Structure 1
Amino acid sequence: MATVLQSIAAQVMSRKTFSGIAVARARDAITDTVGCMIAGAADATPQAVVGAFVGDIRTDGASLLVTGGRASPPLAALINATAAHCLDFDDNFHPARAHASAVLVPALLAVATADASISGPQLVAAYLAGLEAQALIGFGVNPSHYNRGWHGTSTVGCIGAAAGVAHLLGLAADRVAQAMVLAASMAAGPKGQFGTAAKPFHAGMAARNAVEAAFLSRAGLTGRPDILERPQGFLDLFGGDDAVGWSGSYSDGAHVIETRGLVTKLHPCCASTHRAVDAALDLQNEHGFSLDEVVRIETKVGRSAYDNLAYPDPVDEMQARFSMQYCLAVALLQGRLSPSDFTPDAVSGSPARQYMAKITMHAYSAEEERGVERLPHQVSVTLQDGRMLHSERLHARGSIACPLAEEEKRSKFTDCLRWAGIEGEETHSVLAALGDVPSVREALEGMVR
């Protein structure tokens, strides 16, 4: 009987064609993630990783670095994925409770930019394979795994991304399974690191581990193929009290990117703030109030979101991304959030600070959440004139239930490049066409030149 990872490998490798919507969403995710990589390249976190391994970075290395130069594929994946995630502007993937693309895209590009024979269609197919693997693993352990305190980006994301890299390397299904087996031994990352530079480093180490696991599988290294479900395996150790495990069918036939999709972030901060921010902006747009007219704002969020947002009075930009009070106050003061709101000077000197004490946050109880995959985040606003306004959102803007318009996605990409001091028109054109090119390496090298 096939193990869970063998079944997942068989499923993702059985897909030879993809729908137009699956391909389009994959291409959008790749473009969006590279934009986030470029925006984050000069940030202190990936620059610290560069500094740690500067001796291994050369002009003639195998894989392109978003920070400049070239390095081995594992090191390129580490640096580029850290850059992709450091501004917390990269997409979310609910089935894995992970920043799926921030791990997957840099890992795949680390391999693709080292091998001129890898084409755009191969990159897209490998992305879809890795994303599906993340979902199928996540379905067995989430939300219990995530609520227990594990960062799905660096656990589920690492294992699933290994399948995507193995797919890109052209490995057979049994070696794809073994890549995930080996990645399961590398999966780690506590959510207690949220609000620090270690959190984006989680994405980096997951991407590096995915590449190394696939390379090791290609070289013949093996582990137990039942490592997810066996005693002292991933489910046993990482699942949490309410994890359901894996049984029955792994798919209804459609690809998960069609049915569940990704959430393309509109705000450069923790996704746990997004539904409340969107709901509050909905109320402001409808009723036209200012923060000076507000007596108090009460928010109610899921337990995991409450735990993630641990900084009611943030002292730096990393903490500010995980502060409901800061993100909500800035959004209502300005009508939006942007990368410029998350710098040390912006956080310490923001006029929004005078309003943060008006904002409180509460969590659903364990009983309210039991048996429910997802509950709406709620916002209640009390105004000085006595009005009490209420709104809630089950899905954030950027989800497939509430997708961004094409101009909004393009505007986000342009903002990312402007943040990096780059004009974006030509860069966007290259990335938008990346899924068609005969050589990913040559296309990206041309863009760099």
Structure 2
Amino acid sequence: MTAVRSGSQTAVKAEAVGGGLTHYVAEFVEETRLADLPQVVIDNGKKSILDGLGLALSGSVAKSGELVRRHLADLNLGKGPATVIGSNLKVAPRFAAFANGVGVHADDYDDTQLAVAKDRVYGLLTHPTAPALPAALAMGEAKAASGAEVMLAYHIGVEVECKIAEAINPRHYQTGFHATATCGTYAAASAAGRLMGLSVEQLERALSVAGSQSAGLRENFGTMTKPFHAGRSSESGVVAAQFAEYGWTATDKILEAPRGFFSAAGGGYDVNAIAGKLGAPWTFDSPGVSIKPHPSGSLTHPGMTEMLRLIKEHGVKAADVEHVRVGTNSNMPNALIHHRPTNELQGKFSMEFCMAILLIEGRAGLNEFVDEVINRPDVKAMIEKVDFVIDERAEAAGYHKMTTYIDITLKDGRTISGVADFGKGSPANPMSFEEVSKKFHECAEFASWDKTKAEDVVAMVRDLDSLPSLDRLLAALSKH
């Protein structure tokens, strides 16, 4: 394979992958069939789909959900073919993708695919379902597609997004881009384009239109604009596919060109992370996708899993705690930027709050990540006892792990210590379908959703590849 150097990574020449990297991705999107998906990929995908649907429900009652529906009302759109989950609205596919994308990511409770190569910092992550699933649902409903067709489109979108995120230079994330927003646009374009039956040439143009809409900055972490990223990337992908179908022109080399996505947004990329790697193996097989047990940034989860273990094993009480030290590698504080949070969105990116609330309540779910809890005097006092620092041992463990060291100093002089590389819900410690179903019901209850409808959704997702259409599933997720 012909290659050139770009920064510290290897970048591929256009002719090296059968006509170019963008062409290779477009061929994968057009040619992949359901029979190409291993059963483990289908099974893991159903867990993430169920997870995403639950989060769209809980996200619909967030303040951001209210504001999105206000925006849709201001647009005077009229009725369309695609469902806005958690509401009685049906709108054009692009706007359903936007609303549901915001909803899935609103609580930062959605799944993550985390980079695994040693120079790919774990912070170089993407949330695969938030951009891919809303686009697949919206276009699938509009096209009266079967459950199997929508499921395949979703998997194709996730695969494209994750491999692009894995390949781009770490600079992309480290200097401020949000990969869910940038790489997620390609996921949505791929999923929507597949359901629309676009040709390889049309898909090349759809990917290119998507690339020119690819945007989102991490400085907005801890605000409503972070889930806005996911919604807009899903909407942008749908728009890109539609314009490609119209005959809109665009380059056929958006990924690999010197002025294309990888170069402009990352300063280069690793060809070995994407060329020949789509579906080989599928991301849902290896390295896997993590499903969150807590509605906070994924980088908090190893520490939270270990903190819960220490609390249960040693019977730690909040009143007995003198001091807590949490040590990680130097990349994790780049994302966990809120050390003294004042609202629920900042709390999701505060290691200090995540440790404090576990010590006080012994749990950290949707009901704990609310402004009233964040600003409670006892919570603020416990936050002051938590030091979040860079630990040389975690640094030495490598950025492909989220190694977290915890030392709890008690008032009686004892110190209780622990360490974890990964959290519950990660591929190393996965959640079962039943555990994801329990989380789904938690989200549905948070949205005050009808229990019978919620139970129907779980049953239909379990049998998604047999559904003749999405009609019953989306009816159970809407207020009709």
Whether TM-score is above 0.5 comes out as: yes
Matches within 5 A, 1:183-262: 183-239=210-266, 244-247=269-272, 249-250=276-277, 253-262=280-289
| Matched residue type, 1:437 | L
1:280 aligns with 2:307: yes
CA distance in 1, matches of 2:355, 2:207: 39
> How many angstroms does 1:88 deviate by?
1.1
> How many angstroms does 1:251 deviate by?
5.0
> How many angstroms does 1:344 deviate by?
2.1
CA distance in 2, matches of 1:309, 1:361: 10
1:91–1:262 CA contact under 8 A, matched in 2: yes
Which region of structure 1 is more displaced relative to structure 2, 135-144 or 119-128? 135-144
User: Using a 3 Å threshold, how does the CA distance of structure 1 residues 288 and 105 change in structure 2: closer, same or farther?
Assistant: same
Matches within 5 A, 1:81-160: 81-95=101-115, 97-116=125-144, 118-160=145-187
User: Using a 3 Å threshold, how does the CA distance of structure 1 residues 29 and 81 change in structure 2: closer, same or farther?
Assistant: same
Which region of structure 1 is more displaced relative to structure 2, 185-194 or 350-359? 350-359
2:159–2:283 CA contact under 8 A, matched in 1: yes
Which region of structure 1 is more displaced relative to structure 2, 303-312 or 255-264? 303-312
> How many angstroms does 1:142 deviate by?
4.8
> How many angstroms does 1:50 deviate by?
1.6
CA distance in 2, matches of 1:350, 1:408: 33
1:269 aligns with 2:286: no
1:401 aligns with 2:428: yes
CA distance in 2, matches of 1:143, 1:197: 25
C-alpha RMSD of matched pairs (Å): 2.3
> How many angstroms does 1:210 deviate by?
0.8
1:165–1:211 CA contact under 8 A, matched in 2: yes
| Matched residue type, 1:239 | G
Q: Which secondary structure does the structure 2 equivalent of 1:378 belong to?
A: strand
Which region of structure 1 is more displaced relative to structure 2, 331-340 or 101-110? 331-340
User: Using a 3 Å threshold, how does the CA distance of structure 1 residues 298 and 238 change in structure 2: closer, same or farther?
Assistant: same
CA distance in 2, matches of 1:122, 1:364: 47
User: Using a 3 Å threshold, how does the CA distance of structure 1 residues 46 and 13 change in structure 2: closer, same or farther?
Assistant: same
Deviation per CA, 1:249-308: give whole Å up to 9, x if none.
Answer: 435832121012211110011112111111211222222222222222111224342122
2:457–2:473 CA contact under 8 A, matched in 1: no
| Matched residue type, 1:231 | P
CA distance in 2, matches of 1:372, 1:324: 18
CA distance in 2, matches of 1:223, 1:121: 31
Tell me the equivalent position of 2:6.
none
CA distance in 2, matches of 1:447, 1:352: 35
Tell me the equivalent position of 2:98.
78
Select which of 325, 330, 335 maps to 1:298.
Answer: 325
1:65 aligns with 2:92: no
CA distance in 2, matches of 1:387, 1:8: 56
CA distance in 2, matches of 1:224, 1:29: 33
**TM, length-normalised to structure 2:** 0.87
1:428 aligns with 2:445: no
Runs of 5+ in structure 2 lacking a partner?
A: 1-14, 116-123
2:188–2:235 CA contact under 8 A, matched in 1: no
Matches within 5 A, 1:314-325: 314-325=341-352
1:414 aligns with 2:414: no
Deviation per CA, 1:318-369: give whole Å up to 9, x if none.
Answer: 111111111111022222111111222222226322211111112367x947
2:357–2:363 CA contact under 8 A, matched in 1: yes
1:57–1:69 CA contact under 8 A, matched in 2: no
> How many angstroms does 1:59 deviate by?
7.0
Q: Which secondary structure does the structure 2 equivalent of 1:299 belong to?
A: strand
Q: Which secondary structure does the structure 2 equivalent of 1:396 belong to?
A: coil
Which region of structure 1 is more displaced relative to structure 2, 386-395 or 31-40? 386-395
2:57–2:443 CA contact under 8 A, matched in 1: yes
1:115–1:441 CA contact under 8 A, matched in 2: no
CA distance in 2, matches of 1:371, 1:379: 18
CA distance in 2, matches of 1:442, 1:79: 20
**TM, length-normalised to structure 1:** 0.93
| Matched residue type, 1:98 | T
User: Using a 3 Å threshold, how does the CA distance of structure 1 residues 264 and 120 change in structure 2: closer, same or farther?
Assistant: same
Tell me the equivalent position of 2:371.
344
> How many angstroms does 1:204 deviate by?
0.7
CA distance in 1, matches of 2:187, 2:314: 44
